[in-house]
Structure 1
Amino acid sequence: MTHTLITGANKSLGLETARRLIEAGHTVHAGMRDPDTGDAARALGAHVVQLDVTDQASVDAAIASLPALDVLVNNAGILGTSFTTDDLDADAMQHVLDTNVVGIVRVTQAALPLLRDSQHPVIVNVSSGVGWPRFLSTEGRDEFPVPAIPYAASKAAVIALTVQYAKNLPSFRVNVSDPGYTATDFNGHHGHQTVTEGTDATVALALVAADGPTGEFHDRHGRIDY
């Protein structure tokens, strides 16, 4: 039995990842800040877990409630409230980093003891092409018009921390996914991909074999070269 924890699993990409991994045979623990929003996850057969990635006590309690853990999908993230330099300040930056970057570290560090007990530990961090400088600076890419500094910086940090975790945990498979421009609440459902397409990379990396890639950045078409 493969036990999988997904953060931010009450809707959109997290919920679809839960659905697909349950379909693949995983026992999914769906982490979310408010369990009252978990009816859709429960309907899929997921076990709803209260988990706020910005609250260490919440993270510790969620991890302590798990019987085992084989796969961790760090999906929770926020867009933030700053979209130009005119509305950017340190508080806005810190707010996004605390969820999107420090939140991953909180959950991952708390989960390491359980993951180390797994015969095939896997971590997938959900980032974005918006964190990839080559995409941000290439006209014609979906990412190019995005002006927001906190979100882009946070997703770049997620890519870097994934590579570093992979180097530090050679017996794990630790990778990072780019959902692409997917129709979700983040963008007012204007993305040109479905949530199923947007979870292709995350699901593939969650199902990676013990001798599969680690420390890599993937979208639904495969590895994104550094």
Structure 2
Amino acid sequence: MKHVLITGANKGIGFEVAKQMAQLGYYVYLGCRDEQNGAAAINKLKSEGLSNIEFLKIDVSDLHSVQQAAASIASLDILINNAGISGKQPQNISACDIEEIKRIFNTNYFGVIQTTQAFLPLLKKAALPVIVNVSSELGSLAMQTSKDRFGNWDNYHAYGATKTALNTFTINLSQELRNFKINSVTPGYTATDLNNFAGFKTAAQGAEPIVRLATIGEDGPTGQFSRQEGELPW
């Protein structure tokens, strides 16, 4: 049985990814920084007949927490870096508080890097190690500069910048670790507390492209940015 860790998995898209991966027969480490919220998520999944799940306490913005989490498990095949925060809005970059920008980057970018680095020794032992970085269309420079871009992007300048940086991390890591499958994927505009449930996709629908990229085989892509409908421009 392959083992998968999903960070920020106690609610929203992360929870649905955990559920779908468990339903597919993977052993799921449900990553969450709050033990009470994590236990509630585990109990909900177990009430639906899923027993191949385990709570893993991890705060991706806290290096000590990340290191403790990595030391507590013995095997990992798939890492899904899902944990993220949207930050306070609006985020017009000309006026956004610098401390708020740093706070968002600390979770969405630096948190992903230190989590990935901590779990790389375990992933390198896997037959086919996979890393999925949950990104956003807001991180696409091509879409940011498109005349057809959607929504009020000014509200999410800082958040979008963290996802652009995350996409660069995906590119760099995939070029360095050639025997891995490493991709960025966006769930699309999904109704979660990240956007005050304004999205038009359900959390289950948003989870689908993430699960697809997490379960690819030897012939699957690496170093790509994609969504449910296919590949996206960086």
| Offset, 1:26 | 0.5
Residue equivalent to 1:71: 78
SS at match of 2:189: coil
Residue equivalent to 2:179: 171
Letter in 1 for 2:7: T
Instruction: Percent identity, please.
Output: 39
CA distance in 1, matches of 2:20, 2:91: 36
Mapping for residues 34-45 of structure 1, pairs under 5 Å: 34-38=34-38, 39-44=40-45, 45=51
Letter in 1 for 2:166: V
Relative distance call for 1:82 and 1:187 in structure 2 (3 A) is: closer
| Offset, 1:140 | 4.5
Residue equivalent to 2:108: 100
Q: Are the aligned partners of 2:140 and 2:233 in contact in 1 as well (CA < 8 Å)?
A: no
When the two chains are superposed, the root-mean-square deviation of aligned CA atoms in Å is 1.4
Residue equivalent to 2:48: none
**Number of residue-to-residue matches in the alignment:** 225
Letter in 2 for 1:51: I
Letter in 2 for 1:13: I
Mapping for residues 92-171 of structure 1, pairs under 5 Å: 92-142=100-150, 144-147=151-154, 148-171=156-179
Relative distance call for 1:77 and 1:61 in structure 2 (3 A) is: same
| Offset, 1:74 | 0.1
SS at match of 1:61: helix
Find out whether 1:17 has 2:17 as its counterpart. yes
| Offset, 1:82 | 4.3
Q: TM-score, structure 2 length as denominator?
A: 0.92
Letter in 1 for 2:11: K
CA distance in 2, matches of 1:63, 1:84: 34
CA distance in 2, matches of 1:116, 1:63: 13
Q: Are the aligned partners of 2:143 and 2:233 in contact in 1 as well (CA < 8 Å)?
A: no
CA distance in 1, matches of 2:65, 2:164: 26
Unaligned runs of 5+ in 1: none
